[in-house]
Amino acid sequence: MSTTPRESPPLGRLLTRREVLALIGVSGAALFTRTASALAQTRGAPASCVVRPQQTEGPFFVDEGLERSDIRPDPKTGEVRPGVPLRLAFRVSRLSGTSCAPLAGAQVDVWHCDAEGRYSDVGGFGSRASTAGGRFLRGYQRTDAAGGAQFLTIYPGWYGGRAVHVHFKIRTEEAGRQYAFTSQLYFDDAFSERVFAVEPYASRGRRWLRNADDGIFREGGKELLLAPTPEAKGYAATFDVALTM
């Protein structure tokens, strides 16, 4: 896989907190209360206009064109990556002028490393063997009429130099113009520690980088933290993000 930088399409801009507060006419306290409430709701709830920072795509994005909700297996072999199940739901909305509405038809890509810190379809990095040709823990979904897109994956592992994270990219088109928004999702350190106490994570030891020590996390990572809740044998989390177009 080539890591040569590519020209990106025009980016959909996120509003600043001040701009959002001015648009929807609520106090900061009310905004954060509504955000916390939205995270606890299920997929299909009304869109929530939440400001999120963009972050680097990183070197491991591969545009596989793999449309699926369950991204755990490798489609070539059927092998499912082991790990604690994580159901990840996105609610994407569109901000325009003073209105906020669900953004339907947007393509949401998700990719991350497995429990051992390996990305699929990568020609090897560090001391890790090549995974070229594999396509586990990658895929995309298009948002429905409510702006929702849902994935079944596993809790990500870790690798040197980075905190625990999940990559995502949202792409859409309006009036013939392409928009893209790319960022990353994070987890509370104490929560990760509990998850990593069980296999297949536990045998790797406890040497992952904490959020505060990750330079990328320090650039807005607190606004990108997930709040997983128990579900069956794993966890579920919902993430709201609004794009301006």
Q: What is the pLDDT of residues 176-187, one digit of tens each?
A: 899 999 999 999
pLDDT value at residue 125:
66
The percentage of the chain sitting over the pLDDT mark of 90, rounded to a whole number, equals: 67
Cβ neighbours, 10 Å, residue 240: 22
Which pLDDT belongs to residue 205? 79
Q: Is the CB of residue 160 less than 8 Å from the CB of residue 171? A: no
Q: With 0-12 CB in 10 A as exposed, 13-18 as middle and 19+ as buried, what is 57?
A: middle
CA 141 to chain centre: 12
Look at residue 46 and tell me whether its pLDDT is greater than 90: no
pLDDT band at 123; cut points 50, 70, 90: confident
User: Tell me, what DSSP letter sits at residue 192?
Assistant: H
Residues 6+ apart with CB under 8 A from 91: 38, 43, 45, 47, 48, 102, 146, 147, 148, 238, 239, 240, 241
Q: Give the rounded percent of residues in the chain with a pLDDT score beyond 70.
A: 78
* Higher-confidence position of 40 and 228: 228
Q: So what's the pLDDT on residue 11? A: 35
CA-closest candidate to residue 107, choices 151, 172, 198, 202: 172
Q: Which pLDDT score is estimated for 51?
A: 72
The domain defined by 17-244 folds into Protocatechuate 3,4-Dioxygenase, subunit A (2.60.130)
Please tell me which residue, 158 or 20, carries the higher pLDDT value: 158
pLDDT recorded at residue 119: 95
| Per-residue pLDDT tens over the stretch 204-221 | 877 789 999 999 999 999
* Rg over CA atoms, the chain: 18
Average pLDDT over residues 9-17: 37
pLDDT at residue 27 tops 90: no
- Is the pLDDT at 231 greater than 70? The verdict is yes
Q: What is the pLDDT of residue 117?
A: 93
Q: Answer whether residue 5 shows pLDDT above 60.
A: no
Is the pLDDT at 234 greater than 60? The verdict is yes
Segment 99-114 mean pLDDT: 95
Assign 127 a pLDDT band (cuts: 50, 70, 90): low
Q: Supply the mean pLDDT for the chain.
A: 82
CB 60 within 8 A of CB 110: no
Residues 71/110, Cβ–Cβ less than 8 Å: yes
Instruction: Delimit the domains of the chain by residue range.
Output: 17-244
Q: Is the pLDDT of residue 19 over 50?
A: no
Residue 38 has pLDDT above 50, yes or no: no
How confident is the model over 100-116, as a mean pLDDT? 96
For helices 28-39 and 17-24, give the axis angle rounded to 10 degrees.
90
